[in-house]
Structure 1
Amino acid sequence: MAIPDSKKVLIAGASIAGPTLAFWLAKYGFTVTVVERSKTLRLGGQNIDVNGPAKQIAQKMRIEAAIRAANTGEVGLQLIGQNEQAIASFPKEGSISGTQELEILRGDLVNILYEATKQNVEYRFGDSITNLEQHPNEVTVTFSSGKKETFQLVVAADGVRSSTRRLVFGDEPKFEYLGLYTAYLTIPRIKTDTNWWRWYTATDRRIVMLRPDNQGTMRASVAFLESDEAYEKLSLAEQKSVLKSKLVGAGWEADRISNALDDSVDVYFDKIGQIKAPSWSSGRMAMIGDAAYCPTPLTGKGTTLAMVGAYLLAGELSQHERHQDAFVAYEQRMRPYVEEVQKLPPGVPWLVYPRTRFGVSVLNTVAGIIASKPVQKLFSLFTSTKTEDESKAEGIVLPDYVYTHAAESS
């Protein structure tokens, strides 16, 4: 089916979901513009992984080699005990491990996606959508720059607090807070650092982590439980002050991270929650990624949902003459997978954030048992081997959509 040249699509957000969608829409012959509020690509962020169906999409996009070349070098997950020594190790190649085959910094993946799309997609940095007027055949978009333009479709891919989503859906869907705050920052690497992802559970419901990157530094994170949404609209100085107070007396590398906060320029501090939208489209507007179905970092599937949703939405738009039918088909394929991913085990996150030393000791003891060779061997017997179609193993089907002639030559 030929796609008219006039099929103009505007995507808000140049992180992971937006450029992935732009890649496939351009392949299918759409004219694509990506608008990004930041003046440049936002290349900060922590370690993420590209696994399962996301890996398959990366292969289809021919960017798997670039992702592998940017690997963080992380060799696995180690839990650090109260004596500040490793008490449980889960190697990358083991049957249980938090480290996946394709570990990469978020910013590196953003840059790879940009490089793969910039020749066929128009990027507008330092601008954003301020108003949307939907009409029978188009959407009139007003930008913060003052410019007005019409598009056939608009897609929000601008994150969990999507301003584009708010223009269409108002205050719905609501952010479902999970009682957890987290902070990320980059700190200098020292001689005692390793290529393990090191996880330390402190008392008073706090967790401190260090992960290696491919830039000669370390990615630190601090997470803590907070029953109230107590830290809204803080300045950077106030955020750092809160984090320092939470690190007092935590032990292990807490003082080191606290001291590094003074000079850090990339602190990210936010509450953790999910977005559960009753619908991902309205008229000529749709949503993908965290804007539509943020699963939280607790699931480890944010990147996967972003890439899968983008792939499916682009594919369905290429197969249907009516965008309404494409939106329905996209949601029918994607929603069961999203709902499964968003299910958190009972007691999470509270269960892994003990308050007392005894609680931390119990948690570490259980981790040590799970990491033992007999238990690891037992797990390997029940762990299914990877299939050629990793997406089916995860409960999502990735159709091979048919390219147009124009797409094949692009």
Structure 2
Amino acid sequence: MTRGRVLVTGGSIAGPATAYWLTQVGYDVTVLERTDGPREGGQNVDVRGLAREVLVRMGLEDAVRAAGTGEVGTRFVDEDGGTVSEFPTDAETGDGPTAELEILRGELARVLAEACGDRVAWWYGDQVVGLDQDDAGVAVRLESGELRRFDLVVVAEGAGSRTRSLVLTGDDAPQLDRLGMHIAWGTIPRTPDDDDWWRWMSVPGSRSMSLRPDNQGTTRVMLNWMGDDTGFVDLPLDQQRAGLRERFGDLGWEVPRVLDALDDVDDLYVEDLTQVRCPTWSVGRVVLTGDAAWCITPVGGFGTSLALIGGYVLAASLARESSPAAAFAAYEEWMRPMVTDAQDLPPGVPRVANPKSRLGVALFRAGTKLAATRPVQAVASRIGSGSEPDRELPDLPTY
């Protein structure tokens, strides 16, 4: 007996999380991932707020903690690497700039996929190019030419989701809000000088660099800058590397080492931070979740947690309601306020952490020093801790 067949597109975080809960309420689930295998690698993500309760209900909190990066807190530094201020992970709440549950994106994807076990079918190396739905189901056409039919389709892809563009068209097309900030991500060799702190340096010119530990024996790096160079993400890799040297080559501390290392890494990735705001998250029997529906961007700091919560709430809604339309409406009604709150960035963000002038950098550093003092720690520890902390997850009847 099964409630029906569901295709989930996207094998990163939202996809496996949603697949897990859909099997718990009785669906036969297939996850489609366009890459040729599991999506390994990726940068630091964290789990906060109600998402931790989702992990508890999955029995995965200890597994995520064991696979964590080992990051102990956030340290703001100056151009010489000297400490400006520190924010250790809050021992009571587990939150702050560094959360207790810090983990690499690929590691979390692995933990979630393993939790699904053989109840979920995994389908790699293909992608959706056409959807034709009626009152009874959805015919899915793949790039390989294969045609399959499902009762429901869940689009759990990234912010630039191709499948979403097949569903949300015309007045339903998403609004894409650029934040005017780029991030270049990469993994570089670890050195004896690297420690278990997230080290963050902001400098004039609306630029910043971060070094973060991982559990792989390497160091994760982020180079951030503000600007309107919208075509940078589409440049060939060699031109991106040259562009990073042009933007950051005048800096000291660990920057020369980082730029040299990025010449050799194979995972350099540049993102033009863009929030996704969809007027609706479903059309017929197709529904969106995760970044495809509501990308927060790393600046918002709650995207991974929303992906975990969203998969749970979607499954709970489908288990309770009598039709997909009613379930999707209930899912959106529950999730929308939390997403809206997370996308509502504080005034000045992300510019405040990437000041243009020397005076602005000095004021930013002074602000972190104030925030790190004991009287203000209680407030600072809640940075990025998620919205609506007193809200409870809906009940999920198992099948």
What TM-score do you get using the length of structure 1 for normalisation? 0.92
Once the two structures are overlaid, the 10-residue window that deviates more, 293-302 or 236-245, is: 236-245
Indicate the RMSD between aligned Cα atoms, in angstroms.
1.9
Q: Any gaps of 5 or more consecutive residues in structure 1?
A: 385-389, 405-410
State the alpha-carbon separation in 2 of the partners of residues 168 and 373 from structure 1.
50
State the alpha-carbon separation in 1 of the partners of residues 21 and 100 from structure 2.
24
Deviations 1:201-255 (A, max 9, x none): 1111101000000111100000000134232422222222222221111222111
Corresponding residue for residue 61 of structure 2: 64
State the alpha-carbon separation in 2 of the partners of residues 330 and 293 from structure 1.
13
Corresponding residue for residue 185 of structure 1: 186
Deviations 1:375-406 (A, max 9, x none): 43xx37x989xxxxx999525431121112xx
Asked if 2 retains the 8 angstrom alpha-carbon contact of 1:20 and 1:113, the reply is yes
Corresponding residue for residue 339 of structure 1: 340
Candidates 49, 59, 71, aligned match of 1:52: 49
State the alpha-carbon separation in 2 of the partners of residues 251 and 225 from structure 1.
19
Corresponding residue for residue 407 of structure 1: none
Deviations 1:4-36 (A, max 9, x none): 526111010011111111001111110101100
Corresponding residue for residue 156 of structure 2: 157
Structure 2 residue matching 1:98: 3-state secondary structure: coil
Determine what percentage of the aligned residue pairs are the same residue: 40
Check 1:312–1:375 CA distance in 2 against 1; reply closer, same or farther (3 A cut). closer
Deviations 1:133-181 (A, max 9, x none): 0112111111112111110111110110111101111371032101000
Summarize the alignment of residues 2-401 of structure 1 with structure 2, pairs less than 5 Å apart. Answer: 5=2, 7-93=4-90, 97-170=96-169, 172-376=173-377, 379=378, 393-394=388-389, 396-401=391-396
Structure 1 residue matching 2:26: 3-state secondary structure: coil
Once the two structures are overlaid, the 10-residue window that deviates more, 41-50 or 235-244, is: 235-244
Check 1:5–1:366 CA distance in 2 against 1; reply closer, same or farther (3 A cut). closer
Asked if 1 retains the 8 angstrom alpha-carbon contact of 2:233 and 2:270, the reply is no
Query: Match of 2:53, as an amino acid?
Result: Q
Structure 2 residue matching 1:316: 3-state secondary structure: helix
Asked if 1 retains the 8 angstrom alpha-carbon contact of 2:10 and 2:155, the reply is yes
Q: Any gaps of 5 or more consecutive residues in structure 2?
A: none
Structure 2 residue matching 1:34: 3-state secondary structure: strand
Query: Match of 2:104, as an amino acid?
Result: L
Asked if 2 retains the 8 angstrom alpha-carbon contact of 1:206 and 1:250, the reply is no
Asked if 1 retains the 8 angstrom alpha-carbon contact of 2:179 and 2:274, the reply is yes
Asked if 2 retains the 8 angstrom alpha-carbon contact of 1:75 and 1:99, the reply is yes
Once the two structures are TM-superposed, the CA of residue 268 in structure 1 deviates from its matched residue by 1.2
Query: Match of 2:346, as an amino acid?
Result: P
Once the two structures are TM-superposed, the CA of residue 358 in structure 1 deviates from its matched residue by 2.4
Asked if 2 retains the 8 angstrom alpha-carbon contact of 1:391 and 1:397, the reply is no
Check 1:247–1:392 CA distance in 2 against 1; reply closer, same or farther (3 A cut). closer
Once the two structures are TM-superposed, the CA of residue 314 in structure 1 deviates from its matched residue by 0.9
Once the two structures are TM-superposed, the CA of residue 356 in structure 1 deviates from its matched residue by 2.2
Deviations 1:91-118 (A, max 9, x none): 1136883111111111100000111113
Structure 2 residue matching 1:333: 3-state secondary structure: helix
Once the two structures are overlaid, the 10-residue window that deviates more, 241-250 or 54-63, is: 241-250
- Runs of 4+ deviating beyond 6 Å: none
Deviations 1:324-369 (A, max 9, x none): 0000100110101110111011111112211222221221122112
State the alpha-carbon separation in 2 of the partners of residues 353 and 55 from structure 1.
30
Structure 1 residue matching 2:398: 3-state secondary structure: coil
Once the two structures are overlaid, the 10-residue window that deviates more, 108-117 or 94-103, is: 94-103
Structure 1 residue matching 2:118: 3-state secondary structure: coil
State the alpha-carbon separation in 2 of the partners of residues 395 and 310 from structure 1.
19
Corresponding pairs, count: 393
- 1:402 counterpart = 2:392: no
Asked if 2 retains the 8 angstrom alpha-carbon contact of 1:168 and 1:282, the reply is yes
Once the two structures are overlaid, the 10-residue window that deviates more, 367-376 or 181-190, is: 367-376
Deviations 1:55-84 (A, max 9, x none): 110110111111011111111010002342
State the alpha-carbon separation in 1 of the partners of residues 7 and 366 from structure 2.
52
Structure 2 residue matching 1:224: 3-state secondary structure: strand
Structure 1 residue matching 2:30: 3-state secondary structure: strand
State the alpha-carbon separation in 2 of the partners of residues 93 and 74 from structure 1.
12
